[in-house]
Amino acid sequence: MVPTSILKAITVFLSATAVTAQNAGSQQSETHPKMSWKRCTGTGGSSCSNVSGELVIDANWRWLHAKGGYTNCYDGNKWNETACATNAQCTSNCEIEGADYTKTYGITASSDALTLKFITKGEYATNIGSRVYLMKDSSNYEMFKLVGNEFTFDVDLSQLPCGLNGALYFVSMPQKGQGKAGAKYGTGYCDAQCARDLKYIDGEANAEGWEASSNDPNAGVGKKGACCAEMDVWEANSISTALTPHSCQPEGYSVCEGTGCGGTYSGDRYAGTCDANGCDFNPYRVGVKDFYGKGMTVDTSKTMTVVTQFIGSGTGLTELKRFYVQGGKVISNPEPTVEGMTGNSITQQWCDTQQKVFQEEVYPFNEHGGMASMGKGMDLGMVLVMSLWDDHYANMLWLDSIYPTDSDPDKPGAARGSCDITSGVPADVESNSANAQVKFSNIKFGPIGSTFAAPS
């Protein structure tokens, strides 16, 4: 999971003195959109009860300004070097502002559904994509323990072309977020790329050593990064989809520095404590090219139900199983057709086989503990993330095209979807697909078999 695009705002002026950590702003009240979901017991989705939840947008998208004033602390892809000469000064001088979810960020929630719009032209700036977390109450994230359970949701991604990713995933973030702003302002993010594009890490500004992005007017890379285990339940557009565990050791929130972070944002992708690649199940990539897409077995021109089972007990995660429900039919994940691979679910052995069949030179999933450490990460409790993003590092080609782009398309594992290798350039998708959106709804969670009528 990768970058973030941010909002810039107005400039007036500054006042700054008091010392506090990661302050919350006071210009705009923070009112979380409400979204209900269901906790299920029993079998077949018949005994589920409503849970009232709320949603919060990640701190990175928010206006950062001088404490009690209007001067930007961060504008475009740069920090104000006066207010933010050091991380400590920056942390105490600046505050993270409340959000107008619909007008500024294109986020709307109603009843049990959430819609994320790709481009939103606001009063002060144009917002690109978003990332939101499910909360239990106004200051705590909802913590999910996935092992032994099943997570089900509906998704409409008919409006997502090549290059966009409407993602639903889990990360081992701290329940209360970080700093004074806390979870209420969407702080505390971490993932298996050891995210370095975050403006705050562990409650402190990440301003020192920040390098502005060369192709993203809203983003940059800081010296520090935040790592933690990541379970990508759903990374998808209307062309391709992937289910991908990313292991980390340690599994929980940990801070990295510079190249040692590894991942997308660092020179050496494999230098860190997390598996940046993951062990993915992408039907197209394992040879089944007519399974997922518009008009296919799972028809992405219509809403579908996505079921993911986290089979195992305690911290012992043994298998990740996927079903789809569409038009009243339950559709199992397909068997791979690539020679040498069998099994329509992710197990440790499935990952081992895929690594060999695809002749991958590296196997970071295993180096960081594989399924065993993924299970431990889940046992810490994970936060549900829903996002819509475009990819300033690899144009999303790892999901929906041939990747690496110079591979022989017939080499097992090279082809991941039918998008062209020239697709997915952020500048193109941002201008050509400004109206793209993804809708997630009808979330259900409970023991295996409790959220839907499984095939017998």
Ligand X SMILES: *[C@@H]1O[C@H](CO)[C@@H](O)[C@H](O)[C@H]1NC(C)=O
- Which residues of the shown chain bind ligand X in the complex (CB under 6 A)? 11, 14, 36, 50, 71-72, 80, 82-83, 111-112
DSSP string, 216-255: -TT-EE-SEEEE--EEEEEEE-SS-EEEEEE-BSS-S-EE
CB of 50 to ligand X, least distance (A): 4
Task: Name which of 1 and 14 has its Cβ closer to ligand X.
Answer: 14
| Active site annotation includes 235 | yes
Whether residue 257 lies in the annotated active site: no
Beta bridge partners of 330: 325
CB 316, CB 375: distance < 8 Å: yes
Shortest Cβ 39–ligand X spacing (Å)? 11
Catalytic residue from among 230, 335, 360, 430: 230
Q: Residue 389 is encoded by which pair of tokens?
A: 């993003």
CB of 426 to ligand X, least distance (A): 26
Q: Which is nearer to ligand X, 125 or 374 (CB)?
A: 125
Count of C-beta atoms within a 10 Å radius of residue 85: 14
**Whole-number Cα distances in Å, 121 to 10, 103, 105, 380, 391:** 15, 8, 8, 38, 20
Q: Which is nearer to ligand X, 39 or 176 (CB)?
A: 39
Q: Name the residue nearer to ligand X (CB basis): 273 or 442.
A: 442
Query: Judging by DSSP bridges, how do beta strands 113-117 and 107-110 pair with one another?
Result: antiparallel
Residue 65 or 321 having the CB closest to ligand X: 65
Closest distance to ligand X from the beta carbon of 365 (Å): 37
CA torsion sign for 284, 289, 292, 297 is negative
Instruction: Please name which of 232, 233, 267, 266 lies closest in space to residue 248, comparing C-alpha atoms.
Output: 232
From the list 203, 170, 171, the residue with the least C-alpha distance to 185 is: 203
Helix 370-379 to helix 348-357 angle (10° resolution) is: 140
The catalytic residue among 235, 257, 360, 367 is: 235
Distance in Å, CB of 10 to ligand X, minimum: 10
Catalytic sites, residue numbers: 230, 235
